[in-house]
A and B are shown apart, each in its own frame.
Chain A
Amino acid sequence: MGAGFHRPAALGTLIARALGLLYGAVMGLPERPMRAAQARMRGGRLGWLFVAPNLLVFGVFTFLPIVIDFWYALTGGAQLLPQDRPYVGAENFRSLLACANYLDPTSCERDLFWYGVWNTLKFVAIQVTLMIVFSLLTALVLNRRIVGRGFYRAAFFYPVLLSPVVVALIWKWILQRNGILNATIQGAGGNGVNWLVDADWAFFWSIFVSIWAHMGFYTLILLAGLQAIPADIYEAAEMDAASPWRRFRRLTLPLLTPSLVVVFILGMIRAVQIFDEVYVLTGGGPGTATVYLVQFIYQTGFAAGVRQYGLAAAGSLLLAAALLLFTLLQLRGLKRGAP
């Protein structure tokens, strides 16, 4: 004690010590009840006691909701409480799927849903492809012996940490009519474009911004996959004087397949759920050019004047079914593709 007064400990040590005391005080609290429980329970049951808090939260906020989701999807009206909602059978699903021509959303009873479906499909196909290409390219470059590799790797990862709202506002500021992008283009003699008011450009930027925000994550996974490939394989190939392209096709790509599959599945599950950054960037517009499925669910369930929980729930169940189907198909294709 006395020594502490003469030589005051560094602030960091003090904080660490205080946190340690706090940790001990708080975590020591359940000691007695847990010991009592331990005395009564035999071996196995104690495991359940440790899992219980997790299972409780899971049950209340993941499993129970799935069950309730079906009830909402099968009932109508704008009431939130399940007992107040009249049973309507498959009416919500019928309404979502009622279309004279599925390719033309204006002919559908719920046109916003079908705009969402087609935009999402288009978005997933383009965004996932481009993102894998750029992540792979970046990972391959980062896998070389390069000065400052750690810095470059971190730079590509930085946007992954940003909030989607922040990402959207950063780009909104750049893309606005009098933004720096238009200033640069006009400075170079071109004509400025009202990027987020033009339907095709808005769609392009929704893809660009989502790749910008997420590719660092996939790059890291692929880079980890590349670094797991033993170096001597390449040395053997170099001795055989295999061309670099051949080395890539015959060695790197097959050995990287597991990582690529992870990236593909994760990337697709996320792309199907695209919402946050695009919703803030474009609000789904102009018109319906960047309305995606999750925006349909959010708008019908929570942002509309009359909250149609039933339609929103039916829409999310269809989305879940599509995701499940996609994943199963991929896994099946994988099994067939595996040697």
Chain B
Amino acid sequence: MLAARRGRSGWDWTDWASHFYLLLGVALMFGPVLWLFVSSVKTQAALDTFPPTFLPWEQKQATLPGHAGALPVFQIMAGDRAGQSLVQIRRIGLEAQLASPDDPAKIARVPISQLRPELRLHASWSNYTDLLRKFDFGLYFLNSVFITVVATVLTLLVNSMAAFALSKYRFKGREPVFLVMLATLTIPPTIVLVPNYLIASALGLTNSLWGVIFPAVATPTGVFMLRQYMLTLPDEILEAARMDNASEWRIYWRIVLPLSAPALAVLAIFSVMWRWNDFLWPMVVLSRSDVFTLPIALFSFQGDLQTQWQYLLAMTACTLLPVTLIFVFLQRYVTQGVASVGVK
């Protein structure tokens, strides 16, 4: 029932059950994110509506000569004006005063039970543009991009150098070094939170983007992954290069690194994910808002903006967009990378 079925054809009930399970899973995995995106282009009024509609419907608005601002448009459902759509000027008790933009002087009085708001589909992209105007969203975004890019480049460089030495050189202490690095896999960063904060502040790295970048540059995962890959490169190539009088450094960056490109790509994707999503350590090191990364800014705003979900949702959508793009274009590499290395 559960094991792989091979070599038979035709659909039996287990195929139906599998597809049902998988479709349910897809709905559960993508649905919440889709709901977030759809919600993020709704106006505040549409977000406050209960029960919510799936698409961003909102009440049509119009201006009337002689009246300030935009006024709501209603459709009249019953009575002698049924079918007309008019602009509401004011409401008095259970009666509304409405008028047509063509003839604003002629005021109709209609009981509100006969009114239905006239809706239109409207994506409120201003939620997104407001992020740039009202918050330092661009700054947080750049901070996150800077940390992600610089940290990933440094991680690839530092880890590949170590992996090169650990896979291609024989030297005293090679095994202990490798074992010690592996052992740090079991030390969760949360355990060294307090002392790392001391070290960061002693080095003047608090409230600095470098304070987020440096501590996690030497990932044991990366060293391990790259070392395993470099072990598969034949030593003869290196020997041939040495015959040609190439320096060891040149062998490293001209031969070994390009040949390790597939493993480096997987590590790069991981590193981008780790850094873009990092939360606890940046929250400890960064306390000034001008150095906030996107997740930290999101977290600090979610307390203040509970009444302004439209901005919170738009900001969340922007934060998940880059990883979503990576996922769409590189998902094959990501999933294969995880499967082959078993790390995240």
Which positions in A face B, CB cutoff 8 Å? 27-28, 30-31, 34-35, 38, 43-51, 53-58, 60-62, 64-69, 72, 80-82, 137-138, 140-146, 150-166, 169-174, 178-180, 183, 186-187, 212, 216-217, 220-221, 223-224, 226, 231, 234-235, 244-245, 247-248, 251-252, 262, 266, 269, 273, 275-276, 280, 294, 297-298, 301-302, 309, 312-313, 316-317, 319-320, 323-324, 327
Contact = CB atoms under 8 A, between A and B. Distances in A.
B109 interface: no
Nearest to A67: B195
A298 B184 CA distance: 21
B158 A54 contact: yes
Nearest to A136: B2
A290 to B, nearest CB: 16
Contacts of A58: 180-181, 184, 218
A178 B247 CA distance: 67
B142 to A, nearest CB: 17
Nearest to A309: B194
Contacts of A48: 165, 171, 173
Given A145-B5, A231-B4, 17 more contacts: A44-B170, A51-B165, A51-B166, A66-B192, A146-B22, A158-B29, A160-B344, A162-B323, A164-B295, A186-B51, A224-B342, A244-B3, A248-B1, A313-B195, A316-B193, A323-B186, A324-B186
Contacts of A69: 191-192, 194-195
B233 interface: no
Interface in B1-23: 1-7, 14-15, 18-19, 21-22
B29 A276 contact: no
Contacts, number: 310
A45 B30 CA distance: 52
B198 A297 contact: no
A242 to B, nearest CB: 10
Contacts of B214: 57, 61
B196 interface: yes
Contacts of A309: 194
A54 B159 contact: yes
Contacts of B67: none
29 contacts: A43-B169, A50-B162, A57-B217, A58-B184, A61-B199, A61-B218, A65-B196, A72-B194, A138-B25, A144-B18, A154-B331, A158-B30, A158-B327, A159-B29, A161-B334, A163-B276, A165-B316, A166-B277, A169-B313, A170-B32, A173-B309, A174-B35, A178-B48, A183-B50, A220-B339, A221-B339, A248-B3, A273-B190, A276-B280
Given A35-B249, A154-B335, A248-B2, A316 B192 contact: yes
A82 B202 CA distance: 11
Contacts of B184: 58, 62
Given A165-B279, A173-B35, A145 B6 contact: yes
B273 A161 contact: yes
B114 interface: no
Contact of B323 (A141, A155, A163, A323): A163
Contacts of A170: 32-33, 35-36, 316
B259 interface: no
B51 A152 contact: no
A141 B18 contact: yes
B295 A252 contact: no
The range of chain B's interface size is 35 or more
B326 A161 contact: yes
Given A157-B331, A183-B52, A50 B194 contact: no
Interface in B301-315: 302, 309, 312-313
A173 B37 CA distance: 11
Interface in B241-280: 247-250, 252-253, 273, 276-277, 279-280
Nearest to A66: B192
Contacts of A165: 277, 279, 295, 298-299, 316, 319
Which 10 A-B pairs have CB atoms at the shortest separation, nearest pair first? A44-B171, A50-B165, A68-B195, A65-B192, A65-B195, A163-B277, A47-B169, A244-B1, A34-B249, A183-B51
B172 A44 contact: yes
A62 B187 contact: yes
Contacts of B22: 141-142, 146, 152
B335 A323 contact: no
A176 to B, nearest CB: 8
A186 B52 CA distance: 12
Query: Which residue, A58, A171, A186, has most C-beta atoms of chain B within 10 A?
Result: A58
B138 interface: no
Contacts of A65: 192, 195-196, 199
Nearest to A169: B316
B285 to A, nearest CB: 10
A61 B25 contact: no
Contacts of A324: 186
Contacts of B2: 137, 140, 244-245, 248, 252
A247 B259 CA distance: 42
Interface string B177-219: 1001100101110111111111101000000000000111110
A24 B245 CA distance: 19
Contacts of B295: 163-166
Contact of A320 (B32, B187, B273, B324): B187
Contacts of B340: 224
Given A72-B194, A145-B4, A302-B284, A154 B327 contact: yes
Contacts of B1: 244-245, 248
A50 B331 CA distance: 32
B121 interface: no
B193 A161 contact: no
B88 interface: no
Contacts of B127: none
Contacts of A68: 194-195, 198-199
A170 B309 CA distance: 11
